[in-house]
Amino acid sequence: MFFKQFSLDGLGCQSYLIGDKGVAAVVDPQRDVDIYLDEADAQELQITHVIETHLHADHVSGNTELAARTGARIYVHAAANALFPHEPLAAADEIAIGDVRLRVLFTPGHTPEHICLTVTDTSRSPEPWFILTGDMLFVGDVGRPDLLGEAATRQLASQLYDSLHTQLLPLPDGLEVFPGHGAGSLCGRVMSSKLSTTVGFERRFNYALQLQSREEFIQSLTSDMPAQPPNVPFLKKLNREGPPVQGDLSPRPLNAAKVRRLLKGGALLVDTREPGAFGAGHAKGALCVPLSSNQFGTRLGFLVQPETPLVFVARNAADSLRAARAANRLGLDCIEGFITVAEARRLPQAKMPQWDVRRASRALASAGLTIVDVREKNEWEAGHAPGARNIPLGQLPARLAEVPSDEPVACMCAGGVRSISACSVLARAGYTNVVNVTGGFDQWAEEGLPVER
């Protein structure tokens, strides 16, 4: 049997290629599928099956892309009500990949249609070798049950409790576990950076598996969850309908005249440079999302409406292609092209002041500054600048009314990257007295400045 795990930085997605005797299955594929095609070709395997553990809410699946490029069939549980061509799965179904058997465990909870797959290499043993747990069980965590809305959350949490206790915990301690996400994903709260685990390790150390009472489990999983990302409903809908097969992502260079016309037609300019470079001078009205962050795609998905035409300000074609691929993973498919930094200077320009933490502290002490802390709630609760207002970056576009427009505003995050995006959101909304706090709260605390909790 051939088995390989693929990890996608930023989104924390983990997908799998399983092959034997010339055929292969891909489980939970990411959208840019060349990684599977290249590996299958190297191993002399033909991809014949594409299997989803569930309909994803944090990224666009590559299932339709793989099917179009290989002729493979897509498999998903019948409860998904998927609208694309697929083979419906049910509990105890088996899929044969050469001598390998993938057996379906129906494990609702993270979503109503969720499945896990035990994997048995019958040429070695009749016992399962490992299990693919999708978003039911992670290393150190379990899947969040709140992505289908408040009304369904408690029921899904109860189903997740049952799935864990009736399907997972009876399995042998030595069974290896390969989850669908790892650290960096928004599908859980405290996922480890480890890429795999065992049933026994999770039985002993996973906090959620220590909660023996159903009510205690439900209470834990429905309290203090990170805010649901704003693009979840869009991604769920897109993955249920079937993602469109991608077109040509080759970078298209644009000149300033063309970009002006696109902007008048509703396009959005996304500046992918670092905070300092953006602050020193940028095209007026641009949204700044630094490409150097492995959260580039996630943050772009939080801040941009799905069908918005995008033009990237990028250093070169390679950076533009990286940005386009990251955008596509979040369903942002309308990429017009890119403009170089030099060419972008021919557009109307603006600046974004950058303050160090001591200057921000002095302004705060003079009662003439509002600090908007755009970190997540748990980060803010662990410590923040005195009087800072917490509006996580992903929620900022919907909560602009909470930001005063009649006094200076300083945006702060952990290190100055999320905050430059927040500054650009405010500038696009008409705020004229906005500054970015370089170094962020990490530097604030390191300098010994006052902290509230």
CB 72 within 8 A of CB 40: no
What is the spatial distance between Cα 313 and Cα 398, in angstroms, rounded to a whole number? 25
Q: What is the pLDDT along the chain (453 residues), one digit of tens a residue?
A: 999 999 988 788 999 999 999 999 999 999 999 999 999 999 999 999 999 999 999 999 999 999 999 999 999 999 999 999 999 999 999 999 999 999 999 999 999 999 999 999 999 999 999 999 999 999 999 999 998 888 899 999 999 999 999 999 999 999 999 999 987 667 666 777 889 999 999 999 999 999 989 999 999 999 877 778 889 999 999 999 999 998 778 889 999 999 999 999 999 999 999 999 999 999 999 999 999 998 999 999 999 999 999 999 999 999 999 999 999 999 999 999 999 999 999 999 999 999 999 999 999 988 779 999 999 998 999 999 999 999 999 999 999 999 999 889 999 999 999 999 999 999 999 999 999 999 999 999 999 999 999
Residue tagged 């800072």 (tokens): 388
Whole-number pLDDT of residue 365: 87
In angstroms, the CA 107 to CA 91 distance is: 9
40 torsion bin: left (phi>0), alpha (psi -120 to 50), beta (else): alpha
Provide the whole-model pTM. Answer: 0.92
Query: Which residues is 77 bridged to in the sheet?
Result: 89
Domains and CATH numbers, the chain: 2-241 (3.60.15.10), 256-350 (3.40.250.10), 354-446 (3.40.250.10)
The C-alpha atoms of residue 428 and residue 440 are separated, in whole angstroms, by: 22
